[in-house]
A and B are shown apart, each in its own frame.
Chain A
Amino acid sequence: MLKTHSLAFSYNSQKTFKFPDIQLDTGQHLLILGESGIGKTTLLHLMAGLLKPQSGNVELMGTSLNELSSAHLDRFRGQHIGLVFQRPHFIQSLSVEKNLTLVQYLAGKSKDKNRVKAVLDSLGILHKIKEKPQRLSQGEQQRVAIAVAVINGPQLILADEPTASLDDKNCSRVATLLKEQAAASSSLLIIITHDQRLKDHFSNTLTL
């Protein structure tokens, strides 16, 4: 389902990041561990098609991201890839519900309020549906971020340091929720982190 092949990227001529090849099949999870500055986020952005690799290739469901035009890539990403960031960010002027329906709209899907409610319910934050996201606690915000990532039933969920700013309790809850959500939409899950606490939750790990 996901294949990366000899990915390399450089921000300047001094340093070039080279990444090991990754191959994941349906339902598999991968925890990528690494220290800061080693290019974890760069790898995640390459896999999400947010950066163009200097060389190498990312292939998701048989589609090579390199070959898509900018607009097609945006659409493809919206429909098939869900992203969770270290610090959750939302459209501030919109409520939790509207954020989610906007994500549905931007991916070209029709507005599905039942899906929004179901996802929020499975994450245990249905009662926050009308709140503005910035009013929520950090743990709740991270759960809304997961809701945003999975709302369109993506084939690939990419999480960048999703637990870095959370306490132990919230950390393991987020890890569990990510696995549950990935299982619910039978998507691939890749978590990139330096957070050693997550090692216990995932068997398939890769250290950069």
Chain B
Amino acid sequence: MNIFLLSIRNMTSRPLSTVLSLILLTLGVGIISLILQVNHHIQEQMANNVRGINMVVGAKGSPLQLILSAVYHIDAPTGNISLKEAEELQKNGMVELGIPLSYGDSYEGYRIVGTDHNYPTLYNAEVAEGRLWKDPLEVTVGASVARILGMKIGDTFAGAHGLSEGGESHDDHQYEIVGILKHSNSVLDQLILTDTRSVWAVHDHGDEHEEGEHHDDEHDDHDHEAHDEEHEGEHDDHDHEAHDEEHEGEHDEHDHEDHGEEREITAMLVKFRNPIALLQLPRRVNETTNMQAAVPSYEINRLFSLMGVGIDTLNTIALVIMLVSGLSVFISLYNALRDRMYEMALMRTYGATRWQLVWLVLQEGLLLTLFGFLLGFIFSRLGLWLVSQFMQSSYHYEFAGWFWLPEEMWLLGIALSIGLVAALLPAIQIFNINISKTLAND
């Protein structure tokens, strides 16, 4: 039996007040730690996904929506823009790189994005298996998508219209998986990437059955054998596959020319050659074109300042809970001490020094808050896991990695200080105990 064990015995001998203190501490620490973690993960994800993108152009509308949809793929697109206009912007001297994005379809809730190979390059994404897409209707899927949906190379699937599950299925256009990306801890993990032309192909077919629309399908040699055979010899039939077969090589260029101006994409991610472009280009786009330019860093800061109010409120509430828990620890120690003053005097007669008893009480405060902190820590990690599951199922976002944040070190410090302060007054009383009087009065 020593002072440390005695502290623990003292705590377990008054279970109700100990449990109350622990619950309050767990809540306070847990909530703050959870907020810190969620905030950290969101900021990290946000920053990670925006890297290299200086500007996003898309259809007019809310700039925040444009950023959320084009960069993070968590909102609906603002609309479409003309490919021609976007390509003109790409030719601008200040633009180093423009990555076209066409999205609007999904598979099992995961977005199918038509783009070019610059998109994976932007996030330094590497291919884990297979290769990047080359021909239309070939797709390369993100690591998380492949893992969760259990996709393998060679699998085929049909995209569904719209960004949520249960949209109308484009059954007659089967995508084929040709590659799976490595985890890049970016939005790509949650996407199905394909060629821009795939998106056009699928939608041209779905929306309008006009001739000559389908030049993009010329390499589309899988899954259409039946069609092709069926229409062999019927050159007047305007079914698109047959048509494409026919015009392969001859009309390709022609079609492109013809329909180029009608081609649309959803948005374009733009990287500038130098930072000065930031001052000029977005304004020029907004004033002189039908497109909208939005600057991700600016919009995200705006978003965080909006979210900040809510986070501050939650943090304040959690801090108040922690202070109340401190009060509870204090009351618990103080009450226990009133009953135990005689015990303290008794221990002095057994040879305990003042400082041993002061340490006994301080230790009880510290141990209580330390246990509370540990429970809160577990609570926050459990919460984070739940939030992560929720994000995964509703936004297809994952929190990667489990960090010990420097702020949590502070939180530990604050928790222990609360325990120390709560134990201070009882400790002072014990230091100044009048042994003779305490023993004689009982």
Task: Tell whether A pairs with B.
Answer: yes
Contact A108:B351 (CB < 8 A) given known A94-B9, A98-B9: yes
Asked whether any CB of chain B lies closer than 8 Å to the CB of A79, the reply is yes
Residue pair A87, B6 in contact (C-beta under 8 Å): no
Task: Give CA–CA (A98, B2) in the complex, Å.
Answer: 9
Task: Give CA–CA (A74, B440) in the complex, Å.
Answer: 18
Asked whether any CB of chain A lies closer than 8 Å to the CB of B356, the reply is yes
Residue pair A74, B342 in contact (C-beta under 8 Å): no
Residue pair A71, B355 in contact (C-beta under 8 Å): yes
* Interface size counted on chain A using CB atoms at 8 A: 34
Asked whether any CB of chain A lies closer than 8 Å to the CB of B392, the reply is no
Residue pair A94, B352 in contact (C-beta under 8 Å): no
Asked whether any CB of chain B lies closer than 8 Å to the CB of A101, the reply is yes
Please report B residues at the A interface, Cβ cutoff 8 Å: 1-2, 6, 9-10, 12-13, 340, 342-343, 346-356, 435-436, 439-440, 442
From residue A100, how far is it (CB to closest CB) to chain B in Å? 9
Q: Which of A41, A45, A74 contacts B351 (CB 8 A)?
A: A74
Top 4 A-B pairs, shortest CB-CB distance? A78-B351, A93-B13, A102-B1, A107-B351
Give the residues in chain A near B349, CB-CB below 8 Å: 48, 50, 77-78, 81, 83
User: Across the two chains, which residue of chain A brings its CB closest to B11?
Assistant: A93
Interface residues of A in 44-66 (CB under 8 A from B): 45, 48, 50-51
Contact A89:B342 (CB < 8 A) given known A70-B354, A75-B353, A78-B350: yes
Asked whether any CB of chain B lies closer than 8 Å to the CB of A190, the reply is no
4 new A-B contacts at CB < 8 Å, known A83-B349, A89-B343: A45-B440, A48-B349, A102-B347, A106-B351
Residue pair A75, B351 in contact (C-beta under 8 Å): yes
From residue A77, how far is it (CB to closest CB) to chain B in Å? 6
Give the residues in chain A near B347, CB-CB below 8 Å: 91, 102, 106
Asked whether any CB of chain B lies closer than 8 Å to the CB of A177, the reply is no
Interface centre among B6, B340, B346, B350 (most CB of A within 10 A): B350
Q: Number of contacts between A and B (CB, 8 Å)?
A: 81
Q: Which of B1, B352, B354, B436 contacts A101 (CB 8 A)?
A: B1
Give the residues in chain A near B10, CB-CB below 8 Å: 93
Task: Give CA–CA (A103, B351) in the complex, Å.
Answer: 8
User: Across the two chains, which residue of chain A brings its CB closest to B343?
Assistant: A91
Give the residues in chain B near A89, CB-CB below 8 Å: 342-343, 346, 442
Residue pair B439, A45 in contact (C-beta under 8 Å): yes
Give the residues in chain A near B2, CB-CB below 8 Å: 102, 105
From residue A127, how far is it (CB to closest CB) to chain B in Å? 20
Interface centre among A71, A79, A91, A108 (most CB of B within 10 A): A91
Residue pair A45, B436 in contact (C-beta under 8 Å): yes
Q: Which of A50, A81, A106 contacts B436 (CB 8 A)?
A: A50
Task: Give CA–CA (A148, B153) in the complex, Å.
Answer: 78
From residue A198, how far is it (CB to closest CB) to chain B in Å? 20
Residue pair A106, B356 in contact (C-beta under 8 Å): yes
User: Across the two chains, which residue of chain B brings its CB closest to A70?
Assistant: B354
Task: Give CA–CA (A91, B354) in the complex, Å.
Answer: 17
Task: Give CA–CA (A41, B28) in the complex, Å.
Answer: 49
Residue pair B351, A71 in contact (C-beta under 8 Å): no
